[in-house]
Amino acid sequence: MGLIPMAIGDANLIGLPYAPMGRAMIGGMVTGTLTTPLMVSLFYSYLDDFSGWWRRYIGLYRQR
Which 3 state secondary structure label does DSSP give 15? coil
Tell me the residue range of the domain where 35 lies.
4-63
Q: What is the pLDDT of residue 63?
A: 63
Percent of the chain with pLDDT over 90: 47
Other C-beta atoms closer than 10 Å to the C-beta of 23 total 14
State the pLDDT confidence band at 41, using cuts at 50, 70 and 90. Answer: very high
Cβ neighbours of residue 18 closer than 8 Å, sequence gap 6 or more? 6, 9, 11, 12
Q: What is the pLDDT of residue 44?
A: 95
The total domain count for the chain is: 1
What does pLDDT average to over the chain?
Answer: 87
pLDDT(36) > 90: yes
